[in-house]
Amino acid sequence: MFTSHWQSNPRMYIKETCLQCHQAWDEKQVRYLLDGMVNHYQGKVRHAEFWLVQLIDQFQVAQAVGIDAAALNEARAKHDEAHANWEWWTASNGSAFHNLDQAKESLAKSAAASQAGIKILQDAIKAKASAAAPAPQPAAPAPAQKSGAAPGAPQVAAAR
Ligand code: HEC
């Protein structure tokens, strides 16, 4: 067993720590492995952040359009979920090594919650836009009828 009073990282003591048990590996391999885990982890954090940013941008559009408060609140709940499942991993140190699977599961939940929130907002924006759109324009006036009906007078629908 290796103990130290220094606040440090086993990365600085690979021979004294990891290689005591993992005797088939060398220091270079352990460093490569650790870098791979950290980069994989950081990629997942960036992915969750990308979707959080898209969600936050959608709030601005939704509020400018003035969507229903109910849809806004539903999307806010998704934002809470997305935020909590992301922020934890920005504060944790060493999760890439110690909790990689849990981190990936939680960060995937974050991205899914952001995407669900975006969908709620986009649906509400669409609904608002179609409610606000001008009524469809009447079709071009029908050609004058031999019957002499005034232009614009209701036409008796022909058999369809
Ligand atoms: C006290 C002994 C011990 C020490 C020290 C130790 N490990 Fe391990 N490690 C294990 C055991 C046991 C396993 C589980 C093997 C299994 O489940 O098949 C494991 C599993 C792993 C795995 C997963 C391997 C796989 O194929 O899924 C990695 C990666 C790993 N260790 C890296 C490290 C690194 C890096 C260090 C140094 C920071 C380290 N270990 C220190 C005993 C140790």
pTM of the model: 0.78
Does the beta carbon of 100 lie inside 6 Å of ligand 1?
A: no
Q: How far apart are CA 74 and CA 116, in angstroms?
A: 10
Token code pair at residue 23: 């005797």
pLDDT band of residue 63 (cuts 50, 70, 90) is: very high
Predicted confidence at residue 150, as pLDDT, reads 55
The rounded distance, in Å, linking the Cα atoms of 108 and 15 is: 34
Amino acid residing at 27 = E
Please indicate whether residue 56, judged by its CB atom, sits closer than 6 Å to ligand 1.
Answer: no
CA 22 to ligand 1 center in whole angstroms: 7
- Ligand 1 pocket test, candidate residues 21, 32, 40, most atoms within 8 A of CB: 21
Residue 145 CA to residue 149 CA, distance in Å, equals 6
Q: What is the pLDDT of residues 105-139, one digit of tens each?
A: 999 999 999 999 999 999 999 999 888 877 667 77
71 Cβ closer than 6 Å to some ligand 1 atom: no
Q: Given a cut of 70, is residue 47 above it in pLDDT?
A: yes
* pLDDT at 102 (0 to 100): 96
Cα gap 127→67, rounded to integer Å: 9
Is the CB of 96 within 6 Å of ligand 1?
A: no
For residue 143, the model assigns a pLDDT of 63
For residue 20, the ligand 1 atom closest to its alpha carbon is 5
